[in-house]
Amino acid sequence: MAGNALFDLTGKVIAVVGGGSGIGEAVAIGAAQGGARVTVIDANESAARTAATKLGGFSAAVDIRDSAAVANAFDAIVARETRLDAVVCTPSINVRKPILQYDGDEFDRVVGVNLKGSFNVLQAAGRIMTAQRAGSIVIFSSIRSLVVEPGQSVYAMTKAGIVQLVRTAAAEFGPSGVRVNAVGPGVVETPLTAPIKAHPEWYNAYAAKNALKRWARAEEMVGPTLFLASDAASYVTGTILFADGGWTAVDGRFTPPGM
């Protein structure tokens, strides 16, 4: 296989969890444009249905904190399509607070969606794919798996946990021909980051931190994600692909004189 055929998604059955908006919707649209048969899964039933209508795919309303609901949604895809080639999981939430101000409900809410939800998706997809002895799972992590700032404790913890979850799943599922990877976005304009955009000083500081000096568009996460889902990444597993505009490569904010 050579050239564009490596990236061809024609006929592949792909589920995009969180596909009702933001990065997930962009990935779902990109997968459909690449020829995949896409199911949009989202906690928001209306958003999932609307996104699926745009790309001519299917939809399902699922709260990823509910393991049985996740498993049922994937089983329904297999019943309809006979297989499941790739799953992309994008949902996450954040409560920005200092550690000493965090309460138990906030902790449980962030961990419940970001970590437990990702685990439920990974487990349900893994059961199907290891049985069919093929498949690719892509879970969204973040630059916060490596670097942090005040107020990001629980979010960063979950994003680092996702990386270790992905690595372990890659080790366990690999002998069955299943690949598992993570994507680590930097700052992306999505509903999750809308509160930051509302504060120009904050927004501009984030843009200045990365090498490209700007925020990413949700559409710019499509290529890295679909690369990992495609045959082009047939020997890539157990890793995180940072799509962060160079954020994690640039150390510090000061440019020395003469540079």
Instruction: Please say if 155 is a catalytic residue.
Output: yes
Candidates 82, 109, 105, 80; CA nearest to 94 is 109
Query: Could you identify the residue written with the tokens 């059961």?
Result: 127
Choice among 102, 155, 203, 206 that is catalytic: 155
Q: Whole-angstrom distance between the N-terminal and C-terminal Cα of the chain?
A: 44
Task: Give the Cα-Cα-Cα angle 174, 120, 32 (nearest 5 degrees).
Answer: 75
CA 116 to chain centre: 14
In 10 A of CB 187, how many CB atoms? 22
DSSP state, 83? Answer: -
Distance CA 228, CA 172 (A): 18
Distance CA 163, CA 29 (A): 25
* H-state helical runs in the chain: 22-33, 45-55, 67-81, 104-111, 118-132, 153-173, 194-197, 200-209, 222-229
Query: Which residues are tagged catalytic?
Result: 155
